[in-house]
């Protein structure tokens, strides 16, 4: 271990050390709390930028500590880790600003921001985990850190949602533990290695390798909200808006999707996974989830619930891109990890603004809100159009690569699937946009009342992320755009001749 290897540890420690400070602060010290929050988020962003720069220069970070005989706690920074950690660093800063504004004078802020920081720390750990064992540690910490956020309001409905959330995620964690154990017993290692570590095992006992894959995907699929393990996600939207934003964009569902990525690419290796016939069932499962999530989103009148079902659908694009086993689709999957994050966080933050500012929680109440809250609704419109996949927005880029990848892999059915999904996306997003901009406001008594002024801390974050949606799509070919970085990763995961 040299000094430089401490950089990943410092990134992990930044939110981890902020958490106890935030817990200990008295409720009334709002300024100091905000300073710590923003300071930690900024520090992390600086450290992550530095790390990304170093890694792109070819510096290798590897921090190891033997925890159990043969098993190591391992933090490393490979390009895939950078992708995820950069997403979490940028969105943590933006969400923190939003959360500070959202919870102004709200109850239990000390507790909230403490767990919020822990949640970010767990995400960092998940990104930097160098083996499945380390990944598992942070996967469980993430569950524990998000549970108090989900039940933050403490209402009966929130507690019920929390209970369901806990049963699903802890159950998933246990299954992942079982899978990690199985991997350790079968392969004698849980390391993430480009190209995978299971080629030998797959040759000797393919059935065991296939079963293990099933167990691992169930464990990860709970957080990634793959059908039929998705039920917790629409229920958990009871959480405060910043939490929902973070949960849907970076923390929980992404942890699952990221885990699936690691398992397919770096535990099995894409070629071994294909050889074992594992990619097709995963692709089918992802396709089913994409369609089912979209169809369920159509029927929701509650805005956040509709967005939650849309997450179920959109996150599975990532699994689909991985499972198509084509390098171009892989670029789409990796890019969508980022793109879905920035689009969905925008949508959730605007949903929060609607509820806070106007008391609007249902789609049917959205009439004419565009003129009342033009900034927020413009951001919402941009993100929603991105979700539908309109060029030149971010969502279009990922869908384009997915479709091209489908063709490259000889899976023509992906094209109608993506078209159908886009149509469904349009069917549940366009009416919201239409109502907001083109219908006259209702004259119902609760409408038009300003419940609370939307300050810059609430208004600016969604606009910033919406701008990112535009930039990530429009400047997709610029160096350091997500797409460029994912191309770099894909060259590592696929053998050279595949490209």
**What are the residues binding another protein (CB under 8 A)?**
23-24, 26-27, 65-69, 71, 73, 107-108, 110-111, 136-137, 140-141, 144, 148, 151, 153-155, 159, 162-163, 166, 170-171, 173-174, 177-178, 181-182, 184-185
**Closest separation in Å from C-beta 312 to another protein:** 25
Nearest Cα residue to 249 out of 130, 158, 123, 147? 123
In the bound state with another protein, the residue whose beta carbon lies nearer, of 174 and 449, is: 174
Distance CA 284, CA 489 (A): 25
In the bound state with another protein, the residue whose beta carbon lies nearer, of 73 and 488, is: 73
In the bound state with another protein, the residue whose beta carbon lies nearer, of 141 and 354, is: 141
Q: Containing H/E element for 482?
A: helix 482-493
What are the residue ranges of helices labelled H in 59-155?
79-102, 109-128, 132-150
In the bound state with another protein, the residue whose beta carbon lies nearer, of 120 and 215, is: 215
Scanning the structure block, which residue is given the tokens 């533990």? 177
In the bound state with another protein, the residue whose beta carbon lies nearer, of 42 and 170, is: 170
Q: How many residues does the chain have?
A: 499
**Closest separation in Å from C-beta 343 to another protein:** 31
**Closest separation in Å from C-beta 156 to another protein:** 10
**Closest separation in Å from C-beta 179 to another protein:** 11
CA 434 to chain centre: 28
**Closest separation in Å from C-beta 170 to another protein:** 6
DSSP string, 145-208: HHHHHHTTT--HHHHHHHHHHHHHHHHHHHHHHHHHHHHHHHHS--B--TT-S-HHHHHH-HHH
Q: Containing H/E element for 36?
A: helix 30-56
In the bound state with another protein, the residue whose beta carbon lies nearer, of 176 and 463, is: 176
**Closest separation in Å from C-beta 188 to another protein:** 11
Distance CA 196, CA 494 (A): 11
Distance CA 111, CA 123 (A): 18
In the bound state with another protein, the residue whose beta carbon lies nearer, of 153 and 488, is: 153
Cβ proximity of 352 and 102 under 8 Å: yes
**Closest separation in Å from C-beta 377 to another protein:** 32
């Amino acid at each position: 271990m040299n000094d430089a290897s401490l950089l990943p540890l410092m990134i992990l420690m930044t939110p981890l050390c902020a958490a106890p400070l935030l817990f200990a602060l008295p409720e009334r010290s709002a300024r100091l709390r905000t300073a710590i929050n923003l300071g930690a988020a900024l520090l992390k962003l600086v450290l992550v930028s530095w790390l990304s720069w170093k890694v792109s220069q070819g510096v290798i970070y590897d921090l190891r500590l033997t925890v159990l005989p043969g098993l190591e706690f391992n933090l490393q920074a490979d390009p895939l880790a950078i992708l995820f950690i950069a997403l979490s660093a940028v969105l943590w800063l933006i969400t923190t600003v939003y959360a500070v504004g959202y919870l102004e004078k709200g109850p239990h802020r000390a507790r909230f921001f403490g767990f919020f920081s822990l949640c970010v720390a767990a995400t960092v750990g998940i990104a930097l985990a160098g083996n499945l064992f380390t990944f598992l540690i942070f996967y469980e910490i993430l569950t524990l850190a998000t549970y108090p956020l989900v039940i933050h309001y403490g209402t009966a409905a929130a507690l019920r949602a929390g209970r369901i959330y806990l049963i699903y995620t802890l159950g998933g964690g246990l299954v992942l533990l079982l899978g990690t154990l199985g991997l350790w017993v079968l392969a004698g290692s849980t390391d993430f290695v480009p190209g995978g570590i299971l080629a030998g095992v797959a040759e000797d006992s393919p059935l065991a390798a296939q079963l293990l894959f099933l167990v691992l995907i169930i464990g990860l699929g709970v957080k990634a909200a793959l059908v039929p393990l998705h039920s917790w996600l629409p229920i958990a939207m009871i959480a405060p808006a910043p939490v929902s934003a973070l949960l849907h964009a970076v923390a929980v569902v992404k942890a699952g999707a990221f885990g699936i990525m690691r398992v397919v690419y770096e535990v099995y290796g894409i070629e071994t996974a294909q050889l074992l016939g594992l990619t097709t069932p995963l692709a089918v499962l992802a396709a089913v989830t994409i369609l089912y999530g979209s169809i369920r989103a159509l029927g929701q009148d509650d805005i956040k619930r509709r967005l939650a079902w849309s997450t179920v659908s959109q996150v599975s694009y990532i699994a689909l891109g991985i499972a198509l086993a084509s390098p171009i689709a892989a670029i789409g999957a990796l890019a969508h990890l980022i793109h879905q994050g920035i689009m969905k966080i925008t949508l959730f933050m605007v949903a929060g603004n609607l509820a806070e500012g106007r008391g609007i929680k249902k789609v049917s109440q959205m009439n004419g809100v565009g003129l009342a809250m033009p900034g927020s609704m413009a951001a919402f419109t941009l993100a929603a159009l991105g979700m539908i996949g309109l060029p030149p927005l971010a969502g279009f880029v990922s869908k384009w690569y997915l479709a091209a990848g489908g063709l490259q892999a000889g899976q023509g059915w992906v094209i109608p699937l993506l078209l159908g999904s886009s149509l469904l996306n349009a069917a549940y997003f366009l009416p919201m946009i239409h109502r907001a901009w083109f219908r006259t406001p209702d004259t119902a008594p609760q409408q038009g009342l300003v419940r609370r002024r939307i300050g810059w801390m609430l208004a600016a974050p969604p606009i910033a992320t919406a701008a990112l949606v535009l930039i990530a799509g429009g400047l997709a070919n610029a160096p350091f755009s997500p797409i460029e970085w994912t191309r770099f990763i894909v060259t590592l995961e696929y053998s050279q001749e595949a490209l």
